[in-house]
Structure formats: structure tokens, C-alpha cells
Amino acid sequence: MNTLAALPVAPTSPHVINTYGRVPIALSHGQGCRVWDVNGKEYLDALAGIAVNTLGHNHPRFVPALQEQIAKLIHTSNYYHVPGQELLAARLAELSSMNKAFFCNSGLEANEAVLKLARKYGHDKGISNPQIVVYERAFHGRSIATLSATGNTKLQKGFEPMVPGFIRVPLNDIEALKRATEGNPDVVAVFFETIQGEGGINAMRNEYLRAVRALCTERDWLLCIDEVQSGMGRTGKWFAHQWAGIVPDVMALAKGLASGIPIGAIVTGPKASEVLQPGNHGSTFGGNPLAMRAGIETLRIMEEDGLMENATKMGDYLMGRLRAELGTHPGVKEVRGQGLMIGMELNKPCGVLIARAAEAGLLISVTADSVIRLLPPLIITQAEIDELLARLLPLVRVFLAEQA
């Protein structure tokens, strides 16, 4: 008997540039809300590839549609019309009450396009030094421009100097926004996440969103919203800002839009739809037939299966159970979020819980050092949430007891 053949495989990636502190597991396949590693161990997926796998894994209607599309056409370039782009753009316009879309490959690219569009909007108005209002604790990506818009000096360190042209303000303080922009004729846009994901699941209040919308309209600024993580039904509406009853001028999308196929998009309203003209911006892979089919099928299945309603119902249940079990624990500062975008902030850094949860068969993340972040697929069931809690709660209780 060859005993070596039975030893578990220890994953390693010596030829991959080490930009991640990876959990020491390698995943091989998935089904629904579960994934398995190369050694056959099963995990409940409460992260969904960071809010990407909207439909979970190996969805029985999504996968055959992509297989059909791959056999027909994967990529053509944007030198030609792509019928799927028009179908998906029209659908996104309808769902957002906006009117046009541009497609790229990621949230970073979408946010980069937002920044370029906002600057061009300013230049078209004769503003040679356009400035964009951004927020403390924001995360918009890791390119130089989106990193400059990001409100995290730890991520920026080593990559200075940052791109100029940003004015940073705190969340949910309309007077601070007014003071920071008072008498400044170069302001062209306000740019924020409705719910900050990487920043720690920090939500903009609805009354604040409405006040910023009114201020942008009054001062002819673009209201630009990053819905990369909070959009696509995750909070129980198509886009999280819709809870406030507002419509932005520009919106960035990615992550859950195509359930795992790389995609990014900006959606624009009338004030912004004609700013970018031929030659101003582009993408080689963006909007390819495969990604467009993935986006179209994701939206179709979400509607057919009532996944936004499920996000609301399961999110309320998960949040309620977390608050009931740990909400009054002295080591828990707050349980917050909306729908299936939930954070539980502890009173000390808790990154160690990622590996402990994986050991217990649960995939989670920790963001902003001390916030346990839960972003399960929108197909998750109540029984799976009960299982999630059965694996997570003992770990958190033990971890908090270690502090005492």
C-alpha cells in the first residue's frame, strides 16, 4: 500500500507573486453554497468569492447557458457591435432608471471609468483642475487612481505619490461635505459606496443619501455611486442606494453582476451618458459575448428565483440570530449591514478567525482588521444559515474569551 498517496495535499504557489495572505487551502469544485478542496474537505461558502458568486456554484441553469455561449462565441473585441451588450445595457438601464452602460472587466476598471468620466465632465464645463469628493474608509480599487480615491493610507503606503484631485470627507455628515467644498468652483462629483465593504460594512444613511443627491443637483455635480459590492440584489434591492429612493448620475457595478465571470460596468443617467465619446475610453475584453451572456442569465435567474426577496429574508434572519446570540456580548461592538451584506465588528483585530473558520469548514472574511464579513450566495437557505451559525458562533465565543 502506498501510504504517501493518502497524505493530504498542502497547497503552495511558489511561482505566483505573493500579494495575498492566502488561507492554506485550494478549492477544486463547488455545488450551491458549498465548495470542496483538493483533499475532499467540504466548506460552507459564506463569502461567495467576495460577493461575486450570486448564484452559488455550478448553478443548474447558469452553467449550461455559459457552456452554450462558449461553443458559439467568447470574444470579438469592441471593434464590432456585441448584441449581448445592448441587451444587458438595456436591462441595467431599466432596473436603475438610468439610460446607458459601458462594460469592462472588474470593479476597479468600472471605478476608474467613473473617475475619468467625472474629470471629463469637468473639463467639458471648462474646469481645468476637476476635483472629486470621496470618503474616509472608502475602497475603490488598487490602480493608482482608484487607490488615490480609497480612504486607507495603509493600502496607499509604498505607492505614493497619489493622484491629486480628491477631497475627502467623513460619512453621513452633510455639513462636513458642504464645508469641505464651500466656494470651490472645481468640484465636479461626489463618489461613494452606498455600503462600504472593505471599509468595514459602513452604510450611508438614507437621509444622507437624499441630501447628497439634492446637493449634487443644486451644484451641477455628478452623483457617482460605487455599487460594486453592495449592488446586484445583495441588500434586497437591485442597487443599495434604491433603499433611499435616489437615482445617481453614474453607477459602478461588477462582482455579482455575472456570478463569477469577470465583468464590470458603469451605468449612466442623462447628465453623464454623452460625456465619453469615441476614443475617450475603451476595453479589449470588456463586454465580450461570454461576460454579457453571464450577466443576462444572472439577472434572469435572480428574477425567476426571487433572489432579492431571499436576500432580504435570509439577511434579516442571519442578522437577527447574530444579534440575539452575540449582540450584547461585551466583545462585540456592533452587528450591522443590510440583506446578505453583514458585518460583525469585534473589539479587537480578528483576522485569525479566517483560518479557524476554514478549519471548521466555513469560508468567511475579516475586513477593517476587526469586522467579520459575511457575503454568502443569494441562494442560501435558512438551514444553511443555521449551519453557518453553528460553525461560526463557537469560534467567535472562544476567540472573545481569549481576550478576557
* The one catalytic residue among 120, 191, 192, 226: 226
Instruction: Return d(Cα 131, Cα 119) in angstroms, integer.
Output: 8
Residue 23 known to bind ligand: no
Q: Report long-range pairs for 398-402 (Cβ below 8 Å, ≥24 apart).
A: 399/346, 399/350, 399/352, 399/353, 399/356, 400/329, 400/331, 400/332, 400/346
Residue 128 known to bind ligand: no
Residue 316 known to bind ligand: no
Residue 228 known to bind ligand: yes
Instruction: Return d(Cα 146, Cα 150) in angstroms, integer.
Output: 6
Confirm whether 255 is a catalytic residue.
yes
* The one catalytic residue among 62, 102, 103, 139: 139
> What are the residues whose beta carbons fall under 8 Å from the beta carbon of 6, sequence distance 6 or more?
none
Residue 210 known to bind ligand: no
Q: Are strands 222-226 and 187-193 parallel, antiparallel or unpaired?
A: parallel
* The one catalytic residue among 62, 120, 239, 255: 255
Q: Are strands 131-135 and 166-169 parallel, antiparallel or unpaired?
A: parallel
Residue 142 known to bind ligand: yes
Residue 139 known to bind ligand: yes
Beta bridge mates, 264 = 104
Residue 398 known to bind ligand: no
> What are the residues whose beta carbons fall under 8 Å from the beta carbon of 104, sequence distance 6 or more?
110, 113, 263, 264, 265, 266, 283, 286, 287
Instruction: Return d(Cα 150, Cα 143) in angstroms, integer.
Output: 10
Instruction: Return d(Cα 241, Cα 209) in angstroms, integer.
Output: 8
Confirm whether 192 is a catalytic residue.
no
C-alpha cell at 276: 465619453
Confirm whether 37 is a catalytic residue.
no
DSSP E strand boundaries for 215-370? 222-226, 250-253, 264-268, 332-338, 341-346, 362-363, 365-367
User: Could you list the active site residues?
Assistant: 139, 226, 255
Q: Which parts are annotated binding residues for N(2)-acetyl-L-ornithine?
A: 142, 283
Binding positions: 139, 142, 226-229, 283-284
For the annotated binding site for pyridoxal 5'-phosphate, the residues are 139, 226-229, 284
